[in-house]
Amino acid sequence: MPDLPPDLPRLRTLETWLAYTLAEVREAIVRAEQREREQQYAAEHRPPPPDWLLEQGLNRDSPPVQVHVGGCWNAGKRSKGVARDDALRALAVGVRACTACRPDTELGYLDG
């Protein structure tokens, strides 16, 4: 046991500080448990990734530049999920297929 002060006033001060510190720790535990519950809920209810991605150009008026398979490591930050028909349509009008994930192969799209 650590050396405690022998007099009552200092022991009461120490008791008050320990009670305050314990309350702070308990509040931090409650917040941490809440964060863990929220993270678990978010992980369980996360929507599935899109099957196809369309990567936009550098500004909002630019045409799409690439089609990707959903989850492609090479998809840029300006990619958005699209339906299969939209991905096929983009390939048909000349949007380039990503060379890493080969969405044209996955979609069964043949040039010509």
Model confidence band, residue 109 (pLDDT cutoffs 50, 70, 90): confident
pLDDT at 17 over 70: yes
CA atoms within 13 Å, Cβ hemisphere of 11: 7
The CA distances from residue 33 to 11, 21, 37, 46, 99, in Å, are 33, 18, 6, 20, 44
CA atoms within 13 Å, Cβ hemisphere of 1: 3
* Higher-pLDDT residue of 61, 44: 44
Query: Is 100 in a helix, a strand, or coil?
Result: coil
Model confidence band, residue 16 (pLDDT cutoffs 50, 70, 90): very high
